[in-house]
Amino acid sequence: MTISSCDIHLEILYGSQTGCAEDVAKRISREGWRRHFKTRVKAMDDFDPKDILNTTHVIFVCSTTGQGVEPDNMRKFWKFLLRKSLPQGILSSLEYAVFGLGDSSYEKFNFPAKKLYRRVEQLGGSPLISLGEGDDQHYLGLDGALDPWLKTLWQNLLQKYPLKEGYSVIPPQPSFDVKLSEYNASDNDRDSIEKQFYPGMRRMVVKENNRITSPDHFQDVRRLTFNTNDDSLSWNPGDCAFLYPQNMENNVEAFLSLMGWHPIADKELYITASPGVDYPARLPSRTTLRKLSTYFFDISGVPRRSFFEMASYFSTHEDEREKLREFASAEGQDDMHSYCTRPKRTLLEVLGDFTSIKDVPLNYIFDVFPPLRPRYFSISSHPYVSYSIIPDYNN
């Protein structure tokens, strides 16, 4: 009996510090789904490590932090794999692939990915493809290694698990189902559609925001002091706090205008995840486009290649659509970097240039527009256990 891609479940597990590896993992998931594989994306530490013993196909994506250190959200999973009690051959039923994100100017280039690849092989795993090593020093960035690696990965997988007869590669699937209510969100529902928090997060009030470098120094280094009534907060030396930013009101208004969303900006949205998609902890199941534009979408950041790829599906102008596809291709990375990355052109500015990106179906907004990422800051006060903090700028 021939096993087709429809019969294979791909776990796509990532270790990501700033979102790059997560972005790659989601791209792999989209490409796998289009080839009729069942896919699921998770941070490694959100995946029960014991489940790896009963998993048959995994694609790992992991970045490198500091001097060759694994990202925070894969450390528990990595610690499990290092257990001496795990017998050799325990992963003999596992087929796997590993892609690393690193920078070859550092001595410990892609060390987490290299160690992960070797350890899974030691435990009996069978590699689907040799280790992939993305390099920021490549003239195409990490895509210089990722594109050919993915091409070979899909070739290898489809050779073993071909498309079912009559099936073909399909367009991208939306990650969420988004329903628009005809009613505006009422004041009584404010709490249920407000920002949501990860476990351990705290809302705090900014008490002081003082520059500690000289006014004529090129670096603007700040010391922020927060007010809190929570006596349970503590942290250790070297710990960081991460703060979630929000978009400025004028940028939110410009974004809503460019997308043509002002008439529906305050109507309630009901959001559910598609099969195989983990629901983000910070995303309320009931919210509005205005709140998503303020607290969730990174409209002021520099967009990555995946934005241009997804946006090209919804451009209504042929020339703009072709340019977006060029920016999303491996051959167009120099032009994309010159246009977007080097001048730090924001997503909002890109939308101002590509005005035909309108009428994005609500089901696809989370695939097109990237989420805001937390900003990490060193804690300089009394040490105990670190907690994440969200400043309350309204008080």
pLDDT over 80 (residue 1): no
252 and 198 both lie in a single domain = yes
Per-residue pLDDT averaged across 87-97, rounded?
94
209 and 124 both lie in a single domain = no
Give the Cα separation of 297 and 10 in Å (integer): 27
Residues in contact with 383: Cβ distance below 8 Å, sequence separation at least 6, in sequence order: 234, 235, 236, 237, 239
pLDDT over 90 (residue 123): yes
127 and 266 both lie in a single domain = no
Q: Would residue 238 count as lying in a domain?
A: yes
Give the Cα separation of 80 and 74 in Å (integer): 10
Q: Identify the residue with better confidence: 280 or 293.
A: 293
Q: Would residue 170 count as lying in a domain?
A: no
Per-residue pLDDT averaged across 102-111, rounded?
91
Q: What is the pLDDT of residues 231-252, one digit of tens each?
A: 777 777 777 888 888 899 999 9
Per-residue pLDDT averaged across 170-178, rounded?
81
140 and 188 both lie in a single domain = no
142 and 207 both lie in a single domain = no
CB 53 within 8 A of CB 90: yes
Q: Would residue 171 count as lying in a domain?
A: no
Task: Give residue 395's pLDDT band: very low, low, confident or very high (50, 70, 90).
Answer: very low
Per-residue pLDDT averaged across 314-342, rounded?
90
Task: Give residue 386's pLDDT band: very low, low, confident or very high (50, 70, 90).
Answer: very low
Relative to beta strand 176-184, strand 132-135 is: unpaired
Confidence at residue 198, expressed as pLDDT on a 0 to 100 scale: 60
205 and 302 both lie in a single domain = yes
Structural domain ending residue among the three candidates 160, 192, 223 = 160
Q: Over pLDDT 70: what percentage of the chain? A: 92
Task: Give residue 191's pLDDT band: very low, low, confident or very high (50, 70, 90).
Answer: very low
pLDDT over 50 (residue 95): yes
226 and 370 both lie in a single domain = yes
Confidence at residue 368, expressed as pLDDT on a 0 to 100 scale: 93
Total domain count, the chain: 2
CB-hemisphere CA count at 13 Å for 375? 9
In the block, tokens 């594109």 appear at: 147
Enumerate the β-bridge partners of residue 378.
Answer: 240
Residue ranges making up the domain that contains 36:
5-160
Among 31, 28, 64, 29, CA closest to 137: 64
CB 107 within 8 A of CB 69: no
CATH number at residue 24: 3.40.50.360
Q: What is the pLDDT of residues 262-274, one digit of tens each?
A: 999 999 999 998 8
231 and 275 both lie in a single domain = yes
Q: Would residue 148 count as lying in a domain?
A: yes
Structural domain ending residue among the three candidates 160, 175, 192 = 160
Q: Would residue 85 count as lying in a domain?
A: yes
Q: What is the pLDDT of residues 15-50, one digit of tens each?
A: 998 888 998 998 899 889 889 899 999 999 999 999
pLDDT over 60 (residue 387): no
261 and 367 both lie in a single domain = yes
Q: What is the pLDDT of residues 353-364, one digit of tens each?
A: 999 998 889 999
Q: Would residue 214 count as lying in a domain?
A: yes
Q: What is the pLDDT of residues 286-321, one digit of tens each?
A: 899 999 999 899 999 999 888 998 899 889 899 999
The mean of the pLDDT values for the chain is 87
CB 282 within 8 A of CB 297: no
pLDDT over 90 (residue 378): no
213 and 266 both lie in a single domain = yes
111 and 203 both lie in a single domain = no
CB 94 within 8 A of CB 55: yes
In the block, tokens 């696809």 appear at: 364
Query: Three-state DSSP class for 23?
Result: helix
Structural domain ending residue among the three candidates 127, 160, 193 = 160
Q: Buried b vs exposed e over 137-155: b needs ≥16 C-beta within 10 Å?
A: ebebbbbbbbbebbeebbe
Q: Would residue 174 count as lying in a domain?
A: no
CB 109 within 8 A of CB 102: yes
Give the Cα separation of 355 and 157 in Å (integer): 39
212 and 155 both lie in a single domain = no
Q: Would residue 179 count as lying in a domain?
A: no
Confidence at residue 390, expressed as pLDDT on a 0 to 100 scale: 52
Give the Cα separation of 57 and 383 in Å (integer): 42
CATH number at residue 374: 1.20.990.10
pLDDT over 90 (residue 381): no
